[in-house]
Amino acid sequence: MSKTLNTPTGSKRAAKPNGENSMTKYQVQAWMAPKPITVDADNSLSVAYHLMRLNNVRRLPVLGKNGSWSALSPGATSARPDQKGH
What single-letter amino acid sits at 65? K
pLDDT score at 39: 93
DSSP letters for 27-49: -GGGTS-SS---EETTS-HHHHH
Distance CA 17, CA 65 (A): 46
Listed residue (35, 32, 41) closest to 66, CA to CA: 41
Region 57-81 average pLDDT: 79
Is 53 inside any structural domain?
yes
Count of domains for the chain: 2
Distance CA 15, CA 36 (A): 25
pLDDT score at 44: 94
Is 16 inside any structural domain?
yes
More confident residue, 40 or 80: 40
Q: Are residues 24 and 43 in the same domain?
A: no
> Is residue 6 within a helix (H) or strand (E), and if so which, with residue range?
strand 4-6
Q: Are residues 70 and 49 in the same domain?
A: yes
| Residues of the domain holding 4 | 1-33
Q: pLDDT category, 77, cuts 50, 70, 90?
A: low
- The yes-or-no verdict on residue 5 having pLDDT over 90 is no
